[in-house]
Amino acid sequence: MGIDSKKAIKFWRGFLVFALIFAWLFSGWPKVWQNPPFPPEVLTTRAASPEPFAYTGGSQDFNPADGIYAVDVECWGGGGGGGSINNNGGGGGGGGAYAKSTGVAVTPGTGYAVDVGAGGSSEVNGADSTFGVTTVVADGGGAAANNNNGTGGTLAASTYNDAASHAGGNGGDGNTTGDVGAGGGGAGGPDGIGNTADNASNNVSTAGGDANSSVGTGTGGAANDGAAGSPGNNDLTKGGGGGGGSEAAQVGGAGGVPGGGGGGRHMGAFGYSSHS
């Protein structure tokens, strides 16, 4: 190799290094004097709208799309069923619990089990709602036994960061000397535990407890006529508890979807509380 060839190689090497430095200086890449974070930040985006899952009677699958490595999960347990006895008013069922976890790690193309808990029928507990079997769990509300109230779903569990977890409200006690039922408890929500229904007394049934949320929450059903609790304004807002039944309306109201507890009833009339 001649002298001229060596000079040419050195020239082009130097030119290449200069070109790379020049391009870096005028690019958008971070510079040392700009104090870039270390390790580098990972940019994230969030879906414009959530993907709701409704009750189907069986387990469902969530399959993350390509590029999805973490999800935020919200669950509501099913509301508990109202009580039913022949001589006195039935107690209201408890509202389902609420759980939210953020940044739950997932792998694209992998299926994750989603179980949406059903509301309990007469004197049957509401079922738990879960993501990934045990990753995020919102307990179902307890059923009322006879004229005794059902307890709200317990505080929800999660193995990830809990942004919020709140119990459902308790149902009210049925009237022990008359024949009117009490309302069911409202579902828990992001803003706190579900509201508890009042006890029935003096042959006056009670309304269901409202769900706890500042936006789109379900309201409790009216007393006496066994009105159903209203649902939230979409699949991801909380349902109110069902209203208590009277002698004229022998079935308690269904809880609002999702998570409202069923109202109490008289004379063993059959009815379902909500499912979430």
The mean pLDDT of 52-57, rounded to a whole number, is 80
pLDDT beyond 50 at 274: no
Q: What is the 3-state secondary structure (H, E, C) of 54-80?
A: CCCCCCEEECCCCCCCEEEEEEECCCC
Exposed / middle / buried, residue 26 (Cβ in 10 Å: 0-12, 13-18, 19+): exposed
The per-residue pLDDT for 137 is 84
DSSP-assigned beta bridge partners for residue 201:
204
Comparing 97-111, 127-141, 260-274, the range with the smallest average pLDDT is: 260-274
pTM: 0.69
Q: Are 170 and 185 in contact (CB under 8 A)?
A: yes
Q: What does the angle CA 52 – CA 170 – CA 125 come to, to the nearest 5 degrees? A: 65
Where is average pLDDT lowest: 32-46, 111-125, 133-147, 237-251?
237-251
Mean pLDDT score, 136-155 = 77
Residue 104 parent element (H or E): strand 98-105
Per-residue pLDDT band for 158 (boundaries 50, 70, 90) equals low
pLDDT in tens, 79-107: 887 776 655 667 788 888 888 888 888 89
Distances (CA, A) of 12 to 18, 23, 24, 183, 268: 10, 16, 18, 85, 93
Provide mean pLDDT across the span 233-238.
Answer: 42
Residues forming beta bridges with residue 113, ordered by sequence position: 61
Mean pLDDT to the nearest integer, 239-257: 46
Q: Say whether pLDDT at 10 is over 80.
A: no
Strands 157-158 and 162-166: unpaired
Residue 110: the pLDDT is: 92
Give me the half-sphere count of Cα atoms (radius 13 Å) on the Cβ side of residue 254. Answer: 17
pLDDT at 234 over 50: no
